Amino acid sequence: MKRIIISHETRQLFRSGAFRALLLLVAGALAFAAFSGQRSIDRQVDGAMAATAFEDAQRAKMRADTEAYEARLAAQGGKYEFAGARHAPGAGPPQGTNAGVVGAQTAKYLTLPPTGLASFAVGQSDIQLNYVPVSMNPTHTTTNNLELENPLNLMTGSFDIAFVLIFLLPIFILAISYDLLSSEKERGTLAMILAHPISLKELLASKIIARAGVLVASILGLGLVALFAVGTNLDSADTWARFSLWMAATLLYSMFWFAMAVMVNVYGRNSAANGIALAGTWLALVVVLPTLVSLLATTIYPAPSRMELTVAARDAQTDAEKTYMARLDEYYYDHLEFIPEGDERATDFLTVAMANRNAIEKAVRPLYDEFQGQLNRQESLVQRFQFVSPAIMMQLALNEVSGTSADRYEHFLNQAYDFHARWGEYFSVKFLQRDPLKPADYDQFPAFEYQEEPFGTVLMRLVPSLLGMIVLLTGALLIPFLRLRRYQVATS
Amino acid sequence: MLQATKLTKSYGEIEALKGLDMTVEGGDIYCLLGANGAGKTTTISLFLNFIRPDGGTATVCGLDVTEQPLETKKLLAYIPEQVMLYGNLTALENLRYFSQLGGHDYSQEEYRDFLRRVGLEEEAVDRRVKTYSKGMRQKVGVAIALAKQARALLLDEPTAGLDPKASNEFSELLLKLKSDGAAILMATHDLFRAKETGTRIGIMKEGRLVDELSTGEVSHADVEKIYLQHMHAGGHYAQEGAGSA
């Protein structure tokens, strides 16, 4: 019985030009979103690669110098010596032997590898770059120069698959089901159908199954196409696990909107009223509530502006430089005879500069921690308030699934900070001990390998969003289920 | 076959049915007459379980329609004032869909045969029904009832607005169904058709069945006279109505 209605409904859908046009539109939007998401991820990956290549070349050159120096010593004899920092090239040991110079002048780029599904939801990754430079400079400079993107782009977010799913998919679903019962009632076919041994519940369920079937097949099909087109690591189980979760989240979200259409329909109003009610629901849940939650987060936990952070860093630097100049001037004034020659003085400069960096780091650190702390508090407030709107839950779930969530980024940053400390210590100790870097030492530099979170952690973070959607969906299904018996087939 | 026992239904303040008792046997064409709002459509809607009664029972072949709605709907066919079909499907596709909903499936040829039997022009069968006239749609409605092999038919002013020829053809179809033993309950305003086609006539007024006639025992003129008497009796026009009748 139900099969008859399902196939009838499916045929009716495909006979409608509006439906075919809508389907095409969604497919087109998804294709464009996949392309746009991929471009955004590619830009990052390319950026990371270019930056890494540049820095690696710098270090390779320094290493080549030390190799040449070592070879020259082997041929001519002499001691392998430490070179003082200097700006003009000269005779003697190359700059590559000075750990302070290598550590300060070259940076190590750490990359957060994108997951296989990264292009599906760009998330915040356009403002939180997936590669950060680590050098002996203070920590805050690591994440400082990230907002390179067009601000308008940052404001509107990127046109990725998550955007299409969250904003456009509900419109598509509502467009094909806002008049689920009302159109049959208005056309007069509802009475014709219900004069047959079909219950209203069966009819509704079959109509939804027909629509959801078409939709799920399309999404699954288009999702797979997108995965093969823009996904990466297709041979990894992680990618497929993520894709399954992506599909599950998309299904839950879609079913919620179908349930909303059913709910509005069982109240028995006409199609126009249903359309308006559902458009209002969409506006409230997808646009208004997420904006309010975000507003709430930034109002309760306002982040100090980046500008403030930058100004504070400058102030600290200026202060340090001022005291450094004063101290140095004073020192040389008193001990004119100690004015070191060339190299020696420059070495002192580097030492003091390194000390200054420590001072700056100390001065800026509280502000930086406050900045990061506020961002984290904003994030956790959004996490707590996600349950007011399926759109927020969906966004968080998709970011999580795509590996572009704030939590994964923080996990990466923490590793980056640890590495920053290791990197700085390695070079500063060698420098202070005036321990010359040998070519072989270049292989001993601290190495960074991103440790991916266990998949269980990702799943645990997904639970609230997915569970929230399940609860919301159940509620949205229960109301029409209870209300259905009061539905008036005949009005008189 | 169709039986209403003490059937009552109110819409808010308005009492649409006040304890209706009636029976329609197989082979009967029972015509319900009455002014608009007398409760004819409400009676039919109650038999279809489209609305729930406030009291009393409606049964089809002994089955209570509220307790076994799906079972009773297998036995029923319904032809409303406007048979509404899917405009973008052909007559044959519509017939097939509704037949399948009723749990029947026939061959392509059998469907064509049903449509032929109700007198639908051959060339119209494969045309989308949005181009159909009302008469043609009513014929498809009868074909649906035929294909469903319904034991009882509920018709709500099915001939309203049909031209005399179409109306006559429709009546012929009803007589065929009647001879097959179906119980037919038809709400109508057409006294002439009621006398001509019906076997029994029930006159409803303000939610009550006020009179029942066997069409064999009365003339056309009698039907009209009795009907008008009832319409004028009682209510606000009681005095002048009684005088003029």
The residue count for chain B = 245
Domain membership flag for residue B134: no
* B46 lies within 8 A of chain A by CB: no
The reply to whether residue A195 touches residue B78, judged by beta carbons under 8 angstroms, is yes
Domain membership flag for residue B90: no
This model of the complex carries an ipTM of 0.88
Q: What is the CATH number of the domain that holds B19?
A: 3.40.50.300
Partner residue opposite B82 with nearest CB, options A188, A193, A488: A188
Cα–Cα distance, B69 to A196 (Å, whole number): 9
| Torsion over CA: A222, A228, A232, A233 (sign) | positive
The reply to whether residue B103 touches residue A492, judged by beta carbons under 8 angstroms, is no
Domain membership flag for residue A398: no
pLDDT, residue A343, reads 41
Task: Name the minimum distance, in Å, from the CA of B243 to any CA of chain A.
Answer: 33
| Chain A residue numbers touching B142 (CB-CB < 8 A) | none
Q: Residue B85: closest CA among chain A residues belongs to which residue?
A: A189
The reply to whether residue A490 touches residue B148, judged by beta carbons under 8 angstroms, is no
Partner residue opposite A197 with nearest CB, options B41, B74, B88: B74
Query: Is the pTM for the entire model greater than 0.95?
Result: no
Domain membership flag for residue B123: no
Domain membership flag for residue B194: yes
pLDDT along chain B (245 residues), means of 10: 92 89 93 90 92 92 92 92 91 94 92 91 92 91 91 90 85 89 92 90 92 89 90 58 36
Q: Is the pLDDT of residue A367 over 60?
A: yes
Domain membership flag for residue B132: no
Q: How many contacts (CB atoms, under 8 Å) link A and B?
A: 75
Domain membership flag for residue B130: no
Domain membership flag for residue A338: no
Least-confidence region, from A139-148, A257-266, A409-418: A139-148
pLDDT, residue A492, reads 46
Task: Name the minimum distance, in Å, from the CA of B130 to any CA of chain A.
Answer: 12
* B97 lies within 8 A of chain A by CB: yes
**A 181-240 residues inside an 8 A Cβ radius of B:** 187-189, 191-199
Domain membership flag for residue A32: yes
Domain membership flag for residue B143: no
A294-349 tens-digit pLDDT: 889 888 888 767 777 778 778 877 877 777 665 555 545 554 554 555 444 444 56
- Burial classification of residue B31, based on how many CB atoms lie within 10 Å of its CB (0-12 exposed, 13-18 middle, 19 or more buried): buried
Q: Is the pLDDT of residue A275 over 90?
A: yes
Domain membership flag for residue A333: no
The reply to whether residue A189 touches residue B85, judged by beta carbons under 8 angstroms, is yes
Mutate to test the interface with A, among B65, B84, B96 (most CBs of A within 10 A): B84
Quote the domain boundaries for residue A181: 1-285+403-492
The domain total for chain B is: 1
The domain total for chain A is: 1
Alpha helices in B11-120 (DSSP H): 40-47, 69-75, 91-101, 108-117
- Burial classification of residue A373, based on how many CB atoms lie within 10 Å of its CB (0-12 exposed, 13-18 middle, 19 or more buried): middle
Domain membership flag for residue A344: no
Domain membership flag for residue A184: yes
Q: Are A246 and A220 in contact (CB under 8 A)?
A: no
pLDDT, residue A89, reads 61
DSSP B124: G
Q: Residue A14: closest CA among chain B residues belongs to which residue?
A: B88
Quote the domain boundaries for residue B29: 2-81+150-244
pLDDT, residue A374, reads 83
Least-confidence region, from A194-203, A317-326, A410-419: A317-326
- Burial classification of residue A165, based on how many CB atoms lie within 10 Å of its CB (0-12 exposed, 13-18 middle, 19 or more buried): buried
Domain membership flag for residue A317: no
Domain membership flag for residue B33: yes
- Burial classification of residue B236, based on how many CB atoms lie within 10 Å of its CB (0-12 exposed, 13-18 middle, 19 or more buried): exposed
